[in-house]
Amino acid sequence: MVFSSNIFLFAFLPLFLGAYYLTPPPRRSLTIVIGSWLFYAWWRVDFLALYAGVTVWSYWIGIRIGMAEADSARLSPKRWMQIGVTGSLLVLGYFKYYNFFGPEIAALLGVSEADHWLFFTVILPIGVSFFVFESISYMVDVYRKDAPPARNFTDFAAFLALYPHLIAGPVMKYKDLAAQIVERSHTLSKFSEGVVLFMIGFCKKVLIADSVAPLAGEAFRLTEPTLAEAWLGAVAYTIQLYFDFSGYSLMAIGLGLMIGFRLIKNFDTPYLSLSITEFWRRWHISLSTWLRDYLYIALGGNRKGRLRTHLNLWLTMVLGGLWHGANWTFILWGLWHGTVLVIERLLGAKGGRSPYPAFIAWPLTIVLVIIGWVMFRAHSVSEAMAVYGGMAGLNGIGLTPEFAWKVTGLELAMLAAGIVLVFTERFVRPRHFAGRFKVPGISRAGVSRASLAHAGLAGLTGLAVLKLSADAYSPFLYFQF
């Protein structure tokens, strides 16, 4: 089940909200767990056992860390934390990377695919990277004393299972959500804000991302794209990915507000950044901060000299690329960003200052981002190299007739709309929708700006629902991670 589906919009969501608000406040964590586990089981019931196993494991390790701290047990709190994190990483490693490394191991052993037990396919559980990272944050936060151990299993399971961010984030750290699990406010104002954010995210996903997706897909399927085709496809994917994932994040944040949770912002106009360093402070903020807090700092951060700082930064980005998937394309994408980040640091990028001259800072940054997205989008390194060859003009300049006839006016219009929104969305804030969400009426005072905004958003949402019904299925890109 995905947020952008009729079964979610018209069945699961109203039923869950009804059950949640009918549940007495002390029991609402249990309602969250049951509802979220049903949400996850809609995809595959059998993998719910894996999810439950990770939940029990992490909760038990948290207890052991607390007991070791209090009783001076044989194993130290640090040792229990290391055991817990290792167990969670083994789960992630098996399900996410076995298909990548298994054949490589067999090849090193000198055996063929036909006669060795190492060759089998592991199905990737949806959202495994996100809930494993969040289980790790719990164990590390308890060890660091950044947050107390969960007061009971239901509260911890509610943190890990919270369905708005269960499948594709934002990646929530336990210390940032622990207090809200125990106590949070429920107001009509907060609920209304959640509805507005959900609708904005829904429109971004269905109207923009889904509309330009075919354009990107056609370009990346070409074996010898021309300069125009390669750049058109690369820009289309740049817009698709941003509106798909930022749309999902807004929907998740909105759903959280509907039940009293305030999740962290995940995007802050990243395509207006003036350096890659700034880009990573604005893109997928929850993952960036997670990698900083639990990987970069664990590697030593900037505490062990300049050379080690650069190495830690580079390794963090390479491992961040590998986190996205078991493919050389993701590793090379992480290497690309890690290398650029190190170069920018050497050039003086620090404290929000761009290392580039003002007149080339933005165009250079967005080109570097687009170049990286080509490798991220490609199914193989050879496919990415074909697109890079087209971007360099090695296969001609203009659109070929075979490609041009497949491009629709709607795709180009939504691509243009997405580009315009990239530059203008910083001026559109939730305050512009201030007040309870309602259909505007005309009074003696006229129609308020917020009411007009609500009406426009309601109209766009209606169009998005119609488009969604016509398209039948609209998966989110980050579900594959």
The model's pLDDT over 229-284, given as tens digits with 9 standing for 90+, comes to 999 999 999 999 999 999 999 999 999 999 999 998 899 999 999 999 999 999 99
C-alpha 286/C-alpha 267 separation (Å) is 9
Higher pLDDT, 425 or 413: 413
CB burial class (10 A; 0-12, 13-18, 19+) of residue 7?
A: exposed
In this predicted model, what pLDDT tens digit does every residue of 42-78 receive, in sequence order? 878 888 888 899 999 999 999 998 888 766 667 888 8
Q: Contact, 129 vs 94, CB < 8 A?
A: no
Distance CA 364, CA 347 (A): 15
Tell me the pLDDT band of 208, cut-offs 50, 70 and 90.
very high
Confidence tier at 444 by pLDDT (50, 70, 90): very low
- pLDDT exceeds cutoff 80 at 140: yes
What's the mean pLDDT in 109-114? Answer: 64
What's the confidence (pLDDT) of residue 73? 61
**What's the pLDDT tens digit per position in 275-313?**
999 999 999 999 899 898 888 888 887 887 788 888 999
pLDDT: which is higher, 98 or 481: 98
Burial class (CB in 10 A: 0-12, 13-18, 19+), 210: buried
Judge whether 362 and 282 are in contact, CB under 8 Å. no
Q: Check pLDDT > 60 for residue 430.
A: no
Other beta carbons less than 10 A from residue 30's beta carbon: 14
What is the pTM assigned to this prediction?
0.88
Q: In whole angstroms, give the CA distance from residue 316 to residue 261.
A: 30
* Active-site residue (options: 165, 284, 310, 324): 324
pLDDT of residue 206: 92
**Distance between CA atoms of 201 and 4, rounded to whole angstroms?**
10
Q: Is 186 a catalytic residue?
A: no
CA 392 to the chain's CA centroid: 30
Confidence (pLDDT) at 300: 85
Question: With pLDDT > 70 as the criterion, what percentage of the chain qualifies?
Answer: 88
Look over the chain and give the mean of its residue pLDDT values, rounded to a whole number: 86
Enumerate residues 6+ apart whose C-beta is below 8 A from 132. Answer: 54, 88, 89, 91, 92
Could you tell me how many residues make up the chain?
Answer: 481
- Please give the average per-residue pLDDT across 371-392, as a whole number: 95
pLDDT at 341: 93
Closest to 276 (Cα-Cα) out of 356, 198, 215: 356
Domain segments of the chain as ranges? 6-183, 190-274+356-424
Single out the residue of 318, 61, 284 nearest to residue 174, CA to CA: 61
CA 434 to centroid of chain Cα atoms: 27
Please say if the pLDDT value at position 438 is more than 60. no
pLDDT at 442 over 50: no
Do 167 and 130 meet the contact criterion of CB atoms below 8 Å apart?
yes
Mean pLDDT in residue range 98-104: 72
DSSP code of 150?
A: P
